[in-house]
Amino acid sequence: MELATDTHNGFAVTLRNLEKRFGDFVAVNRVNLDVRKGEIFGFLGPNGAGKSTTIRMLCGILEPTAGSGTVAGFDITRQAEEIKKHIGYMSQRFSLYEDLTVAENIDFYSGIYRIPAARKNARKEWVIEMAGLTEHRNSRTAILSGGWKQRLALGCAILHEPPIIFLDEPTSGVDPISRRNFWDLIYQLAGEGVTVFVTTHYMDEAEYCDRLGLIYRGELIALGTPGELKSRFMAEEVIEVLCDQPQEALEPIEQLAEVKHAALFGRGLHVVAERADDAIPAITARLKELNLPVNRIEQILPSLEDVFVSQIESHDRKEAPQREVAS
Amino acid sequence: MLERLKCMLVKEFIQALRDPRMRFILFVLPVFQTVVFGYAVNTDVRQVATAIYDLDNSQESRELTAQFVKSGYFKVTEYVDRDSQVRELIDRGKVKAAIRMDRGFGAAIRAGRSTPLQIILDGSDSNTAGIVLNYAGKIAARYSEQLQLQQVTRKGGIPMRTGGVELQSRAWFNDNLESRNFYVPAVIANIVMIITMLLSSMAVVREKEIGTMEQIIVTPIRKFEFILGKTIPFVLIGFLDVALITLVAVFWFEVPIRGSLLLLFGATALFLMSSLGFGLFISTISQTQQQAMMSAFFFIFPAMLLSGFAFPIENMPPAVQWLTYANPLRYYIVIIRSIYLKGVGVAVLWPQMLGLAILGGVILSFAVRRFHKTLS
């Protein structure tokens, strides 16, 4: 791989006002983003938020409606075919040929990527080993489990050792152990200097990323490291309340003036408040009145999910009046 | 270029040949269709099931009945004596024709008078009815001629010498007018069209369905490499099917092949441009294999009906006849039949080959232009 290509002021991906419309529907709304070289960048958002659409524009298979961007230093509208030589892409569907064997799938993609003859065999063995398919190299792909297919698909997508990898919900439909192994693999690749751009809607996976972008209704609503998001993007404070009957405690707590929002969380409640110091005594008092014993109540560091929910809610609050004016 | 094309081809062949259903479609179906057309499709009319409705039962009426049987075109399966029976037999399809001779038939003939002979036909099959009528007319005419001759001879006279015209017909290229010779070669055209158009479009759309298309278009493969990789296997399969059907036609059904095999393959190559062009076009407008199949049949049925395969183009209204000039199958069928039966070469067939080349070029370039390496 040419070295010059994957640096554009040190950024693997740069996006400026990127926009994609399908008719009246705005799938991606003026997204600005810079992804540094060698970073694991996570794109977090609910289904239909525009994650896949963005990634497809970056891979040069979907043309943006407006805006611009570069991937590996190439323009996404004018140099799509150049980009394709420098990226690996894997979609949530693990697109393999099920009627071909493991080895035949690898041979096919290594031919398409024109891996030099000298490296071909080494790359093939690397993929087979990495995916743990030594025993199954001559089995048809159709019989493999989800985790195997996932790693084989990743292997086929990075046979040509691209400096940037795009993974679109790579762990959907895969068991937890395979997911964990898959992330080990991603760390390994990132350690070798590969930029990884990954979309997910799993909060725990988002924690593994170096940096995160929160996308909601086509808009990038928050950007930062997981730590930054938890501290900077959370204006309110979060209180965890552990009690025996959280369902019954939920409504009375939400009605308190000091509380903005409460939600069931595991075996307790997460309560969002302007100031935890004011809310804790109020909650304690209210629950005592209702004769609901509290096991523990304390301010905690918000989880990514808290941040995500709070960001979406504040986004909706901002949008709602505008929408009323519009309609 | 060549390396990517090579691995596309390897993949396509593995996929086509590994699937038992595909193997069946590619190799068994063509032979099966040829056999069906060779044995079952027969527009020759012989041994028509016939009822005799003889109310006279005289020597003359039995004589005429014997004449009908002797001709080989009629086979007497029933004797009836009531109108209602005739009706019943034709309704149930037990007979296709009924021959009725009224009381006094023999007496009239003996007295030297004309007498009617009635033939009742099942007109629901208009083609057969027309042919049967024609045969019956000839038999009746010949019998009248015989009667005249007999009467003149019986009266001791010498038959009058009159001038006359006797038709001596000879069907070139197909002496016995066997419909098999007409249909079996043209099966090639149908099979090649169905297999290449349908399967090539489905091969592309299948990749959309299983998601590998998305994976392929993020690779640096070029559009032409992909298109060639998808079409070349079907060119070879098309040639193979031509050879397969020819073998069955020549060695099993003894259909003569008088022209050049090389020319047959050349014409097939020209035809494949149109057929694969349509296949590619269908793949650009379909998202699922089911849609591709429906769209392919949308092309295949009119193409077959307006090709002259079964229904003569000369019988179509002029506007429709003009339409058939835009049908590649029309030219291909003329070429195939001419090579097989007439044994003619490029000197005669060049207009059809030119037609195929022009249509193929237009269709193929239109389809290639529409084909994009992006999601839409």
- Please indicate if any CB of chain A lies within 8 Å of the CB of B373: yes
Task: Tell me, yes or no, whether A175 and A42 share the same domain.
Answer: yes
- B317 C-beta neighbours (distance < 10 Å), count: 8
Domain boundary among A208, A230, A252: A230
Could B220 and A85 be called an inter-chain contact, meaning their C-beta atoms sit closer than 8 Å? yes
Domain span at residue A314 reads 231-326
Distance from CA of B170 to the nearest CA of A (A): 57
In this structure, what are the phi and psi dihedrals at residue B170, rounded to the nearest 5 degrees? -145, 125
Percent helix, percent strand, percent coil in chain B, to nearest 5: 65, 5, 25
Domain boundary among A214, A230, A246: A230
The predicted structure's pLDDT at residue A119: 93
The predicted structure's pLDDT at residue A193: 92
In this predicted structure, the answer to whether residue B177 has a pLDDT above a threshold of 70 is: no
| b/e code A234-268 from CB counts within 10 Å (16+ = b) | bebbbbbbebeebeebbebbeebebbbbbeebeeb
In this structure, what are the phi and psi dihedrals at residue A43, rounded to the nearest 5 degrees? -110, 110
- Please indicate if any CB of chain A lies within 8 Å of the CB of B149: no
What is the identity of the amino acid at B311? F
Task: Tell me, yes or no, whether A245 and A218 share the same domain.
Answer: no
The CA-atom distances, in angstroms, between B110 and each of A37, A130, A293, B141, B151 are: 114, 104, 127, 17, 9
Q: What is the CATH number of the domain that holds A43?
A: 3.40.50.300
CA B209 to chain centre: 36
Q: Which chain B residues are closer than 8 Å to A95 by Cβ? A: 210-212, 214-215
Q: Per residue in B233-291, pLDDT tens?
A: 999 999 999 999 999 999 998 898 999 999 999 999 999 999 999 999 999 999 999 99
Query: Total domain count for chain A?
Result: 2
- Top residue of B11, B207, B222 to mutate, by most chain A CBs within 10 Å, is B11
Task: Tell me, yes or no, whether A161 and A245 share the same domain.
Answer: no
Q: How far apart are CA B49 and CA A157, in angstroms?
A: 70
CA-wise closest residue to B355 among B274, B253, B254: B274
Nearest by CB to residue B212, choosing from A95, A113, A114, is A95
Please tell me which of A8-17, A173-182, B14-23, B284-293 the model is most confident about, judged by mean pLDDT: B284-293
Nearest by CB to residue B215, choosing from A91, A104, A111, is A91
Task: Tell me, yes or no, whether A174 and A53 share the same domain.
Answer: yes
Nearest by CB to residue A84, choosing from B7, B214, B220, is B220
The domains of chain B, with CATH numbers, are: 2-41+178-370 (no CATH), 48-154 (3.40.1710.10)
> What is the count of residue pairs from A and B with beta carbons less than 8 Å apart?
72
Q: Which chain B residues are closer than 8 Å to A61 by Cβ? A: 214, 217-218, 373-375
* Sign of the four-CA dihedral B322, B327, B331, B337: negative
Task: Tell me, yes or no, whether A81 and A147 share the same domain.
Answer: yes
Chain A's closest residue to B222, CA to CA, is: A81
Distance from CA of A171 to the nearest CA of B (A): 16
Average pLDDT over residues B302-320: 90
The CA-atom distances, in angstroms, between A235 and each of A46, A155, A183, B311 are: 22, 42, 31, 80
Q: Residue A247: pLDDT band by 50, 70, 90 thresholds?
A: confident
CA angle, residues A168, A171, A172, in degrees to nearest 5:
85
Could A100 and B15 be called an inter-chain contact, meaning their C-beta atoms sit closer than 8 Å? yes
Could B4 and A93 be called an inter-chain contact, meaning their C-beta atoms sit closer than 8 Å? no
The predicted structure's pLDDT at residue B161: 63
Which of left, alpha, beta for A217 (phi over 0: left; psi -120 to 50: alpha)?
Answer: left
The predicted structure's pLDDT at residue A8: 46
Under an 8 Å CB criterion, which residues of A touch B? Answer: 56, 59-63, 80-81, 84-85, 87, 89-91, 93, 95-100, 104, 107-109, 111-114, 156-157
Distance from CA of B12 to the nearest CA of A (A): 10
Average pLDDT over residues B129-142: 87
The predicted structure's pLDDT at residue B330: 95
Burial degree of A41 (CB within 10 A; 0-12, 13-18, 19+): buried
Task: Tell me, yes or no, whether A299 and A210 share the same domain.
Answer: no
The predicted structure's pLDDT at residue A4: 42
Task: Tell me, yes or no, whether A115 and A218 share the same domain.
Answer: yes
Question: Residue for token digits 């938890």?
Answer: A230
Distance from CA of A190 to the nearest CA of B (A): 21
In this predicted structure, the answer to whether residue A89 has a pLDDT above a threshold of 90 is: yes
The predicted structure's pLDDT at residue A9: 66
Could B215 and A89 be called an inter-chain contact, meaning their C-beta atoms sit closer than 8 Å? yes
Q: Residue B123: pLDDT band by 50, 70, 90 thresholds?
A: confident
Nearest by CB to residue A97, choosing from B15, B217, B375, is B15
In this predicted structure, the answer to whether residue B186 has a pLDDT above a threshold of 70 is: yes
- Please indicate if any CB of chain A lies within 8 Å of the CB of B112: no
Distance from CA of A214 to the nearest CA of B (A): 25
Task: Tell me, yes or no, whether A126 and A263 share the same domain.
Answer: no
Q: Per residue in A167-181, pLDDT tens?
A: 999 888 788 888 898
- Please indicate if any CB of chain A lies within 8 Å of the CB of B210: yes
Domain boundary among A181, A200, A230: A230
- Top residue of A79, A92, A99, A106 to mutate, by most chain B CBs within 10 Å, is A99
Please give the residue that has the higher pLDDT: either B364 or B166: B364
Could B220 and A112 be called an inter-chain contact, meaning their C-beta atoms sit closer than 8 Å? yes
Q: Per residue in A103-149, pLDDT tens?
A: 999 999 999 999 999 999 999 999 999 999 999 999 999 999 888 99
Distance from CA of B221 to the nearest CA of A (A): 6
Task: Tell me, yes or no, whether A194 and A58 share the same domain.
Answer: yes
- Please indicate if any CB of chain A lies within 8 Å of the CB of B217: yes
- Please indicate if any CB of chain A lies within 8 Å of the CB of B218: yes
- Top residue of A61, A139, A149, A172 to mutate, by most chain B CBs within 10 Å, is A61
Task: Tell me, yes or no, whether A169 and A192 share the same domain.
Answer: yes
For the record, the structure tokens of A250 come out as 């939920």
Q: Which chain A residues are closer than 8 Å to B373 by Cβ? A: 61
Q: Residue B163: pLDDT band by 50, 70, 90 thresholds?
A: low
Could B374 and A96 be called an inter-chain contact, meaning their C-beta atoms sit closer than 8 Å? no
- Top residue of A112, A138, A141, A172 to mutate, by most chain B CBs within 10 Å, is A112
Q: How far apart are CA A199 and CA A214, in angstroms?
A: 10
Task: Tell me, yes or no, whether A121 and A254 share the same domain.
Answer: no
Q: What is the CATH number of the domain that holds A256?
A: 3.30.70.250
- With contact defined as beta carbons under 8 Å apart, do A127 and A159 qualify? yes
Question: Residue for token digits 């705005």?
Answer: A26
Could B11 and A100 be called an inter-chain contact, meaning their C-beta atoms sit closer than 8 Å? yes
The predicted structure's pLDDT at residue B337: 93
User: In chain B, pLDDT over 90 holds for what percent of residues?
Assistant: 51
Task: Tell me, yes or no, whether A140 and A265 share the same domain.
Answer: no
Q: Residue A323: pLDDT band by 50, 70, 90 thresholds?
A: low
| b/e code B230-258 from CB counts within 10 Å (16+ = b) | bbbbbbebbbebbbbbbebbeeebebebe
In this predicted structure, the answer to whether residue B369 has a pLDDT above a threshold of 80 is: yes
- Please indicate if any CB of chain A lies within 8 Å of the CB of B375: yes
DSSP B57-91: --HHHHHHHHHHHHTSSEEEEEE--SHHHHHHHHH
In this predicted structure, the answer to whether residue A275 has a pLDDT above a threshold of 90 is: no
- Please indicate if any CB of chain A lies within 8 Å of the CB of B20: no
The predicted structure's pLDDT at residue A301: 84
Mean residue pLDDT across chain B: 89
The predicted structure's pLDDT at residue A327: 43
For the record, the structure tokens of B279 come out as 């296949």
Chain B's closest residue to A60, CA to CA, is: B218
Q: Per residue in A44-74, pLDDT tens?
A: 988 888 999 999 999 999 999 999 999 999 9
